[in-house]
């Protein structure tokens, strides 16, 4: 039987001129040429000031970050990570200098963006779920940017199938149905490891159409994704529905990752995120984007189906400040 989750908890100078022409004239008469040694000292001091200013300017060189663009005009998944990246960079202006976030010149899939990042081309940062091998190809900043929300999955389904899902009470029963998923999405390996029947696609938008045309039965989406996706597409896919009774869960941290040679950017982002966590800015931004979705998810009223994630390394953060505070009721 499925288990029911509980509720989540949750910065004069005044100058005075001489007041008589006679005083000015007498003062002028007293002016003599500065000694050569004094002029030399002034020149040396000027050079020193220029050197210091030059070094200071170098230290505050603008950090330019090329950021990936969404996969489609209706793809809203990129906005929150962009705002969080901006927050991290803002938090470190005093220590690392100004910054600019630029949109990438080329729109690309997740796989191509990974290739681009490894090559140092088009983009400087992406975000990826932990898959056990991030360190092989990238330099991850291991602070979960979604507080684990992507691992809480609800389903997009066809409206006419809601009763079928009401009848499901176990993972075994769910496995009689087929899920749709992106073939290159990092957590597809979690579903495969749990023997979830899958129909895969290389195109994000195509998955919604495949669902409606009955190529598969349900589309697992993070609770931070499902309602945005539904509202964007329901006007022209009216059969689309967010399933209302099941919550699939597997632990899934999502991290910013950069090119392995870009240690300066990784360090700046990590410092900025830690500062934002400490001063509350991280949580304020997160919940401003996701609070309504967490409430709509009705976590306490859903049947909980837990998957194992065998791809979590020992370096996975364990502090409670990094994760959603969700209590599960262990009742059947």
Is the pLDDT score of 25 beyond 80?
Answer: no
State how far the Cα of 175 lies from the Cα of 324, in Å rounded to an integer.
27
Is the pLDDT score of 256 beyond 90?
Answer: yes
CA 130 to the chain's CA centroid: 13
Quickly tell me which residue has 């309602």 as its tokens.
227
* Backbone CA torsion sign across 230, 173, 301, 327: negative
Give the percent of the chain with pLDDT over 70. 80
Chain segment 31-42, per-residue pLDDT in tens: 444 455 545 555
What is the model's pLDDT at position 59?
Answer: 55
Query: Which CATH number does 61-148+253-298 carry?
Result: 3.40.190.10
Provide the pLDDT confidence category of residue 325 given band limits of 50, 70 and 90. confident
Asked which of 21-25, 111-115, 211-215, 244-248 is least confident by mean pLDDT, the reply is 21-25
Chain segment 162-211, per-residue pLDDT in tens: 999 999 999 999 999 999 999 988 899 999 999 999 999 999 999 999 99
Model-level pTM?
0.76
Is the pLDDT score of 330 beyond 80?
Answer: no
Residues 6+ apart with CB under 8 A from 194: 171, 250, 307, 308
Give the percent of the chain with pLDDT over 90. 70
What is the model's pLDDT at position 314?
Answer: 92
Burial tier of 150 (Cβ tally within 10 Å: 0-12, 13-18, 19+): buried
What is the model's pLDDT at position 44?
Answer: 55
Q: What is the mean pLDDT of residues 256-273?
A: 98
Chain segment 34-65, per-residue pLDDT in tens: 455 545 555 655 555 455 544 554 556 999 99
């Amino acid at each position: 039987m499925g288990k029911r989750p509980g509720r989540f908890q949750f910065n004069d100078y005044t100058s005075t001129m001489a007041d008589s022409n006679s005083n000015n004239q007498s003062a002028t008469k007293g002016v003599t040429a500065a000694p050569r040694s004094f002029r030399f000292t002034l020149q040396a001091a000027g050079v020193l000031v220029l050197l210091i200013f030059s070094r200071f300017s170098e230290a505050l060189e603008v950090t330019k970050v090329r950021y990936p663009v969404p996969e489609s005009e209706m793809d809203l998944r990129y906005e929150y990570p962009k705002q969080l990246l901006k927050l991290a960079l803002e938090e470190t202006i005093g220590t690392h200098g100004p910054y600019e976030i630029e949109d990438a010149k080329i729109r690309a899939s997740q796989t191509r963006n990974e290739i681009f990042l490894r090559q140092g081309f088009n983009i400087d940062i992406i975000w990826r779920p932990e898959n056990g091998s991030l360190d092989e190809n990238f330099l991850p900043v291991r602070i979960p940017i979604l507080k684990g929300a992507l691992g809480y999955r609800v389903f997009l389904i066809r409206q006419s199938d809601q009763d079928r899902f009401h009848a499901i009470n176990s993972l075994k029963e769910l496995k009689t149905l087929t899920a749709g998923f992106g073939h290159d999405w990092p957590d597809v390996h979690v579903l495969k490891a749990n023997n979830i029947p899958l129909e895969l696609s290389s195109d994000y938008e195509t998955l919604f159409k495949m669902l409606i045309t009955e190529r598969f039965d349900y589309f697992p989406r993070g609770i931070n994704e499902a309602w945005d996706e539904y509202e964007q597409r329901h006007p022209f896919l009216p059969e689309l529905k967010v399933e209302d009774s099941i919550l699939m869960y597997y632990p899934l941290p999502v991290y910013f990752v950069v090119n392995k040679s870009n240690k300066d950017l990784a360090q700046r982002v990590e410092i900025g995120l830690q500062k934002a966590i400490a001063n509350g800015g991280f949580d304020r931004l997160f919940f401003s984007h996701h609070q309504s979705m967490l409430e709509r998810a009705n976590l306490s009223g859903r049947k909980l189906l837990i998957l194992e994630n065998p791809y979590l390394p020992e370096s996975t953060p364990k502090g409670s400040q990094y994760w959603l505070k969700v209590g599960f009721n262990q009742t059947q």
